[in-house]
Amino acid sequence: MAEPNILLTRIDNRLIHGQVATQWNSTLGANLILVANDDVAGNKMRQNLMNMAAPTGVATRFFSLQKTIDVIHKASPKQHIFLVAENPSDVLTLVKGGVPIRKVNIGNMHMSEGKRQVATSVAVDDADVAAFKELQDLGVELEIRRVPSTPAEDINKLFQ
């Protein structure tokens, strides 16, 4: 069975929003943005806001983590998928569930209680770092990059 055509998986706690959706999508050439998020899957208001931010002509899907695991292998090769998740733990759940994620772009992880700022737009806590380490151990390539036009930041910043 052919593997789903996942162009990139991005961690962004805002999921789909204007600048990022447009810039990444024009670089990747995706025709489907798949948001894997348990809350958004059941929240029509958040879905509607993200649909407004999605680039014109690009389909959107809002699936729970489990539904993503269950249906990703049914994707057509014509579906060029940009997968967006909220945090590294969710990505780890997807990978362990059999979603063939090779590379994760770490975009926005906002500063909040108990987190430390490690890169321009990335703040992590110990649970995030543990999830990133496990993703690396599973062979997933990690990249810290906010938008395609900026250089990637040193991934070791995550583990300091």
Sorted by sequence, the CB contacts under 8 Å of residue 24 that are 6+ apart come out as 8, 10, 30, 82, 105, 147, 148
Q: Give how far Cα 99 sits from Cα of 37, 71, 86, 90, 140, Å.
A: 14, 10, 16, 11, 11
Cite the DSSP H helix spans in the chain: 18-28, 38-41, 44-53, 65-71, 88-96, 126-137
Residues designated as active site = 17
